[in-house]
Each structure stands twice: as structure tokens, then as C-alpha cells.
Structure 1
Amino acid sequence: MPNFSFTLNPTEDFVVRLAVSETMTRPELKDLAPRFSYLDLRPGSLNAVAGNVNLKPYTSINLDASFEYYWGDINYVSLAIFQKEVQNFIVTDNEVVTVSGVDIQDPLLADDS
């Protein structure tokens, strides 16, 4: 994924750092696996866990900036800001299957994050 970083030194004591990057994180294999498992956690309560083969990787566009001022031999002060825009965020959803009344947890893509 592309990554651009810049360091500017407007003066000897002042540094500006800027970065723009795009990152990708793949879903965990357990979330992708085409599986269906029953869990009997409490008497009278039956839960199930399912995978979702249609999950997409998380992607994000990241903007970072920092402003640093140095003085003396070891002193500095820094201010940093960032912004991230995440797409395809994965969440776990609970739904009730009306045929058997079993709660199912399965990973889904969240609405726009």
C-alpha cells in the first residue's frame, strides 16, 4: 500500500513531519471460515457462531502530522494530530434464527465507518 512521509526543517530548531498512507488488514481466518458451531453456555440457552466468506479486508487512509520544537541538548515539545478513514470495518452481529430459536453470532461488514 502506498506510504508517503515528509520531514521539513523550516529552522534548525523546528521540525514538521507529514505522512499519508493507505493500509489494509485482512479479516481473521476464524471470521472467514465457512463454519457453524453450537455453544451451550447456560442451561436453556443455545448459541451458535458462524463464519462469513464474503468479508473484505479493512482498509484505511491515514493522515498524520507532527510539529516539534527542540531547544538545548535534550529538550523538545511536540504536537501530533492524525485522522483515519476506515472502510469495511468488521463487527459481530447477533441474530435470532426463528426456526430453532438459536442466537447466532457472525461477523459482518459494518456500515460506513
Structure 2
Amino acid sequence: MNDVVEVIVTGPPDFMQKLVETLIGERLIACGQLAPIMSTYRWQGAVENATEVRAILHTTRECSDLVMRRIQEEHPYEVPCILISPVMAGNSRYLAWVAQETHKGPSSS
């Protein structure tokens, strides 16, 4: 069984690029993929539309709690969308690379 998880988070474009770079720099994620999206949601009684970016982040189960905590600390939204799902299967070489590139704890640059 592999240990890789996928973290999905949405937010403002400028913030999301910086977030991904920070998490990679801290070796909490191996990869972050960014894509523009249009979100429609109910917030404080009103229907809202927003141009956002969705990030798909690849990390390990061991790092996932710390990744979520870092996102919550930095995210400008009061209630950010952060979803974590196990990766059931995939390219074994890619999954091994994700595990190799991520570390829980201080960066060892």
C-alpha cells in the first residue's frame, strides 16, 4: 500500500502560487498543480461567484496533517476548502518520488 495522499485546496491566484512554492520549499509536498476555476457558493446568506485557483498537492499521509495546518495558518479565507484523499494506485516510480521528496519536520536543504 502506498502512503501518498492528494490535498485539494482553493484560493486567490497570487496566494496559491506562493503557498505551493512555500510548501515545496519546506519539503511538505513534492508537487503542486495549479488550475484556474470559477467557484459558486453560499457565504453568509448570499450566493457568491469567485475566480479562484485550485491546487492539487501531492504529499504523504505522514505530512498531510502538517500541510493542512500550514495552509490554515496562511490562507486568507476564514473557511478555506482543504480536502485530503488517499491515492489508491498510481505510477509506482512517481509515488516513490513523492515519498522521497517530502519530509515531516524542518527543511534539510
Higher helix share: 2
TM norm structure 2: 0.27
TM-score normalized by structure 1? Answer: 0.26
The structure that has the greater radius of gyration is 1
Structure with greater proportional strand content = 1
